[in-house]
Amino acid sequence: MARGFRSLLFCALGLSWTAAGWLQGCGSDDGPLGYVDDDAGKVNTRSDAAAGDADAEAPLSTLRLAHMASGVGPVDFCYQAARAGSFEGPVLGGPSTAVADAGADGDTDADAAATADAGIDAAVDEDAGRPAVTYGSVSKYFTLAATGTIVVAIVPAGGRCSEAIAQASVTLDPGKLSTVVFFAEGSDASDGAVVGFVDDRDTLSDKARVRIIHASAAGPIAVRANTSRTTTLADRVEPRHASEATPAIPVDALGFATVAPLPPPVTLVVDPIDQDASADAAPSTTATWASAAGDLDLRGGSLHTGFVLDEDGGFVVLWCADQITAFDHTACTWVR
């Protein structure tokens, strides 16, 4: 079932979807858009993003939050390090992340207007007046004063750490970046699941790197990109998992496929896989959903994560440019 391709533009000047267009129009140094620094300790986040009065010498880890639980409003998160007696946070809603700080080195009113004009999810809980992560969006990276196994608690925006909607233990490696995903689980979207994925900042000048994360309630899927040729991005992805590793594409242990660049227009195709079939079985040719063709910026040196979700009996993909942030969020667009 074909669906139209709809992009969210992240600059009020109406720039193109390509990373080069964003950076030329808005500026990578002091504007609202910019590349994420490859140094895990300097990842385009506020220096005071760590919640609480953590010891400056404490080991650090870095994560971003992805909200994939449909039916749940804006959220924030808290965390508890091993052997800690209480939760730190909420991380987004602390005093240092007030709305007034949202536009670094810029006019916050103008930034807010640009965000609204661009059609970006507000990322602000209007009742609490604080930053938040809304459904179908991914925060920028935040540095936490904790490593190893920690407990992450998802809380309503403006709420307290004691008001967790869902929580789970995730492992954060020092010096590495992670994406913590809040998934919907079962028929009740408020019954969530929290899963951590290790990110990889490496890029190749002559290749595109893509990771698919299955965020829908459906069974396993396969994902391919069609242009002048067909390129498989993931030949099997289980719910609440990243692409399975395989040397055929290849897909590495973290779920990133390395593929030749694909010039636009590109059509994404998501195929359900028969759950009784083996991992080597071909995907089903029935109940296939494909997006309309568009520019997914699959150039050499690009790095993307695609979150596959349910919508109206089919699939949609939240397509995120992992190296680029827009205000307090990773730059993402819907593929429908």
pLDDT at 130: 56
**Structure confidence at residue 46 as a pLDDT band (50, 70, 90):** very low
Distance CA 236, CA 108 (A): 43
Residue 86 has pLDDT above 70, yes or no: yes
Mean pLDDT of 180-205: 82
pLDDT of residue 301: 97
**pLDDT at site 313:** 80
Spatial CA neighbour of 61 closest among 75, 79, 84: 79
Domains of the chain as residue ranges with CATH: 1-36+202-336 (no CATH), 39-200 (2.60.40)
pLDDT at 124: 43
Segment 220-242 shows an average pLDDT of: 94
Task: Enter the tokens of residue 173.
Answer: 């490696």
| CA nearest to 172, candidates 142, 132, 138, 202 | 142
Indicate the pLDDT class of residue 291, thresholds 50, 70 and 90: low
**Under the phi-then-psi rule, with left for phi > 0, alpha for psi from -120 to 50, and beta for the rest, what region is 240?**
left
198 neighbors 178 (Cβ within 8 angstroms): yes
- pTM here is 0.74
Torsion sign, CA atoms 252, 299, 291, 326: positive
SS3 96: helix
What mean pLDDT comes out for the span 146-172?
A: 93
More confident residue, 267 or 3: 267
Mean pLDDT of 134-157: 94
**Hey, is 26 helix, strand or coil?**
helix
